[in-house]
Structure 1
Amino acid sequence: MPIYMDFHDVPEGITAKHVAEMHQADLKIEHKYNCRGLTYWCDERRQTAFCLIEAPNKKAIIDLHEQAHGDVPQRIIEVNDTIVESFLGRIVDPEKSKNTKLNIINDPAFRTLMVVKLRKNTLRKSSINTLNAALRGYTKSIVNFAVAHEGRVVKQKTGYFLISFVSVTNAVMCSVKIQELYNMVITPDIDFRIGISAGIPVTKRESIFEDTIQMAEYLCDVAKRNLSISSEVHDLYESENQNKTGQNPSINVLTKSDVDFIVQLMEYTEKVWTNSNTTAIDFGKQLGYSKSKLYRTMIALVGKSPNGHLKNYRLRKALQLLDKQTSNISEIAYKTGFSSPAYFSKCFQEVYGMLPSNYIKQTRN
């Protein structure tokens, strides 16, 4: 049977003990609905609770909760148990709770997520060998830093890491260590980026932690500096470190309005980047900014003009297609929103230092 995670917005005054009682009520009658309660998470401070349940469908979960205690979940999503464990550390009740009558678990499902990306910056022949060697070294170090700071590596592939932390402080300190490593062993051919955000596992999206992952990736992809965090992460870090003073100058803290702008920018970019007719004026209209205000905001937060941002986004997509070697240069040019193969080749050479045709030859050798 599929496994689901549901979200309960817990009323004020309801404690972890009350949630444990409701969980026990579920377990007593779950067989009537062909369900099996695996575990739950409760966060008294944020007034949220999440249940992990094996069930035939979402309706069975709603009916079970309705009959057991009347607290119907606000949202239910289907999940993979392995993915849940990689984010949250467990898919059954923790050992310390199993011998108690109620299995009271005051364990928040709120997590801080860090995305690390290492991307090609230039494409000289020597840079590919340098990149591969650097990636191997950085990969081992990043994983070691994550483990040392009690992080869980949720996803890892070439040049990409998604890491989950219970502690905001551990996430921030881990990111600083990773950045320090990069600064000590600077590799000019690699663009090194880190984005950190925080949130709950179930929202209006269909996948677990989808909003939080997306935010971390957006900060990683477009924020002006190499290490960026949301204002929420910053506030949580400050609350965990009240006796410490001073802000790490290497960390770029984005305000809520900055984050909202970046989200709108990237959501629109992802919709229109394949359309060669898209212009800076279109971005301004969509985001509700005048031409001059959009330019100033983009330079301040992203470090690029609207046209420069769109061009770089398209080129990154084009580079991914070139690496797959499933399309020719002309096809890639049009797929990625360039008006002609000639213009695509010109832009590609300006950014990466070689023509796409030469890059293809180089990667095949």
Structure 2
Amino acid sequence: MKTTPMPIYMDRHDIPEEITAEHVALMHQEDLKVEHLFGCKGMTYWCDTKRHTAFCLIEAPNREAIQNMHNHAHGEFPHDIIEVDPHLVESFLGRIEDPEKNENEDLSIIDDPAFRVVMVIESSDFLHRLDTHQLSMFTQKFHRSVAKSVKHFEGSIVRENDKSYLISFRSVTNAVLCALKIQDSFKYSYPKLERDNQRLKIGLCTGSPVTEKDGLFSESIALATQMCELIHGQIVISPSVKSLYENENRNAVIDDKLIRTLTPKEVSLVTGLVQFCEHNWNKPNFNIFTLSKELGHSKSQLYRKIKKLTGKSPITFLREYRLNKALELIHDQKGNISEIAFESGFNSPAYFSKSFFDKFGILPSKYAQMYQS
């Protein structure tokens, strides 16, 4: 009779400055001595003494078993625990077991950070990301060049499809240089006529695998995706990417003509903007007044900030956010056009159809016909 495999979890420990990699290795050994008492199996761990964090990868029946094992072994409770897919862990971090230790080593000390640079690439607009158009020879050429660039700059492709990539890098410098190389390749992959119908967006930010939110590198992936989808600019990077790049390359400065760097306040604004839109996009009071109140800015301040970030006025931004949501609903066949129009916050199906056509170049009824069963 087949036994169901236990879930795999990753936890995060914030460790004091005085704790060394050797201390973490000793605590890992203590876990391994008692793991059988709690039905757990310690697979490996990552230690980052520079950022004072450690991450354990553990097969376990549940989160409580992990907490009890750590408490019994050394008393150090993890700050967060998330369930993970081991294949994703390996894609992001390069391994799911301990590195081989030297024969003469009594204790395997792993001083290996789990900190990564996360890159999201989107190579089509919102409409074509949902469509299933056959790839042109030029698009195939571009995707080959992306794979070649990622390999050259020692990145790891975590996920990919015809329209987007999720990539992990150890080195901030390699990540930035790879983004610039992909940007350059994009220009030469398409003839001018076809390039006008293409879109390249690259978002880069740094992060750790486990935070308060569920999902491996979830906060970093979310921010890098928002950079691609919301921010005006072909390559957009977080403040931490800029700082680390310039620290690693003492004589180098990020070229703001090629790369847009968000400020910490802009990152905060993007996060607040997305949270508001996610919770309110289909409500009648989804408008500039409620948005400015929610974010604590006057209408004029908000206009300037959103225009600078996205290249769009707040009213246009909010309307297009609704239209993108409506596009998903039509694609997933969640109702007829009138129902989706009202569900998306439009008071008139006719106005919805006009707005949809202005945004996507196709009537919603025609788009719905493409996906009828």
Question: TM (normalized to structure 1)?
Answer: 0.91
Q: How many Å separate the matches in 2 of 1:272 and 1:353? A: 26
Q: How many Å separate the matches in 1 of 2:127 and 2:24? A: 54
Q: 3-state SS of the aligned residue for 1:30?
A: helix
Task: Show the 5 A alignment for 1:164-203.
Answer: 164-184=168-188, 185=190, 187-203=195-211
State the 1:321 CA deviation: 3.7
Change (3 A) 1:245 1:80: closer
Matched, 1:222 2:226: no
Q: How many Å separate the matches in 2 of 1:347 and 1:99? A: 70
Matched, 1:60 2:60: no
Q: Is the 8 A contact 2:47 2:111 kept in 1?
A: yes
The residue type paired with residue 229 of structure 2 is D
Q: How many Å separate the matches in 2 of 1:319 and 1:133? A: 27
Match in the other structure for 1:267: 275
Change (3 A) 1:277 1:263: same
Deviations 1:253-298 (A, max 9, x none): 0110111111111111111112244111111011001010000111
Change (3 A) 1:323 1:190: farther
Deviations 1:188-238 (A, max 9, x none): 222321111111111111111111111111111111112100001111111
Structure 1's unaligned 5+ residue stretches are none
Moved more, 345-354 or 73-82: 345-354
Picking from 262, 267, 276, the partner of 1:254 is 262
Matched, 1:298 2:306: yes
Q: Is the 8 A contact 1:121 1:189 kept in 2?
A: no
Deviations 1:18-45 (A, max 9, x none): 1111111111221222211100000010
Q: Is the 8 A contact 1:284 1:294 kept in 2?
A: yes
Deviations 1:67-107 (A, max 9, x none): 22222211111112111111111100112568632111110
Q: How many Å separate the matches in 1 of 2:228 and 2:222? A: 10
State the 1:166 CA deviation: 0.9
Q: Is the 8 A contact 1:121 1:190 kept in 2?
A: no
Match in the other structure for 2:3: none
Matched, 1:333 2:341: yes
Picking from 12, 15, 19, the partner of 1:14 is 19
Change (3 A) 1:292 1:50: same
Change (3 A) 1:108 1:337: same
Q: Is the 8 A contact 2:246 2:253 kept in 1?
A: no
Instruction: Indicate the RMSD between aligned Cα atoms, in angstroms.
Output: 2.3
Q: How many Å separate the matches in 1 of 2:113 and 2:133? A: 44
Task: Using the aligned pairs only, state the percent identity.
Answer: 46
Change (3 A) 1:335 1:158: farther
Question: TM (normalized to structure 2)?
Answer: 0.90
Q: 3-state SS of the aligned residue for 1:190?
A: coil
Picking from 76, 100, 103, the partner of 2:105 is 100
Match in the other structure for 2:365: 357
Q: Is the 8 A contact 2:9 2:58 kept in 1?
A: yes
State the 1:358 CA deviation: 3.8
Q: Is the 8 A contact 1:283 1:306 kept in 2?
A: no
State the 1:132 CA deviation: 5.1
Q: How many residue pairs align between the two structures? A: 361
Change (3 A) 1:128 1:85: closer
Q: How many Å separate the matches in 2 of 1:70 and 1:168? A: 35
